[in-house]
Amino acid sequence: MAGNWKMYKTPADTLQFFQKFVPLVAAAQHCEILICPPAVDLTTAVQAAGGSNVMVGAQNIYPGKEGAFTGELSGYLIKSAGCSHVLIGHSERRQYFHDSEPEVVLKKTVAALEASLTPIVCVGEMLAEREGNQTEAVLVRQFREALGSLTAEQFAQVVVAYEPVWAIGTGKTATPQIASDAHAVIRKEAAVLFGDAAAKSLRILYGGSVKPDNAKTLMAEPEINGVLVGGASLDPESFAKIVNF
């Protein structure tokens, strides 16, 4: 159950969030809980989550350990801050920062794995692509570009997030059946590339206007193994309700 804060919250806000959130989910043993705050908040979040069942991840990564790359964070730096996960290929990164270019997501995924971080690789279609009946083709292409060159051992460490772009920040939510069907496409492609066992063990999260009132119905679908929450993860009580569905 992952929360993506995007470009919200100061370090002071982050501390206040964790002070309220950690006790609310302390009894949640049925899932892994992850918060991905802005880079400026990472060390505060790691310290505030210390000793709890809440993990912290970054929102982006730059391939390479170190170098003259102003404004970027390598997996080495992210790991040294105490993080365990990193989001890769989020739709906003694809739309605004050229992460849709071939091999970009793959390189970032490999960089995460080399730093012993768990990559959460995001895939998803635009509204025009869904209306043009291109959803399956888009998901297969993005999956192959991002993960197709990994070894079986590398793929076993990856989490995939399906985020229909038309349902992010719009108030629209894919029905449980729409989400389940998309997850099935992803799992089928995983089986093609890495085998049935790898496909069955792959965790696929749903992200797209997840809220406390729809989390339970989404999670009732066997194909949905978790959620990637945006706006609803900014409020500790709201996100706790999702985690404790």
Question: CA–CA separation, 154 vs 147, rounded Å?
Answer: 9
Question: CA–CA separation, 11 vs 156, rounded Å?
Answer: 34
pLDDT at 43 over 80: yes
pLDDT digits (tens, 9 = 90+) for 45-65: 999 999 999 999 999 999 988
CA dist 240 to 59, 154, 174, 235, 236, Å?
20, 31, 22, 8, 6
Q: So what's the pLDDT on residue 100?
A: 84
Tokens of 46: 């790691």
Question: CA–CA separation, 178 vs 153, rounded Å?
Answer: 30
Q: So what's the pLDDT on residue 18?
A: 98
Q: What confidence tier does 131 reach under pLDDT thresholds 50, 70, 90?
A: confident
The SS3 call for residue 86 is strand
The residue among 208, 184, 7 whose CA lies nearest residue 126 is: 208
Question: CA–CA separation, 36 vs 125, rounded Å?
Answer: 22
Q: Is-catalytic flag, 163?
A: yes
Q: So what's the pLDDT on residue 128?
A: 86
Q: What confidence tier does 198 reach under pLDDT thresholds 50, 70, 90?
A: very high
Residue ranges of domains in the chain: 2-243
pLDDT at 171 over 80: no
pLDDT digits (tens, 9 = 90+) for 67-77: 999 999 999 99
Q: What confidence tier does 195 reach under pLDDT thresholds 50, 70, 90?
A: very high
Q: Which CATH architecture has domain 2-243?
A: Alpha-Beta Barrel (3.20)
State the catalytic residue, choosing from 92, 125, 129, 163: 163
**Stated length of the chain:** 245
**Is 0.85 surpassed by the pTM of this model?**
yes
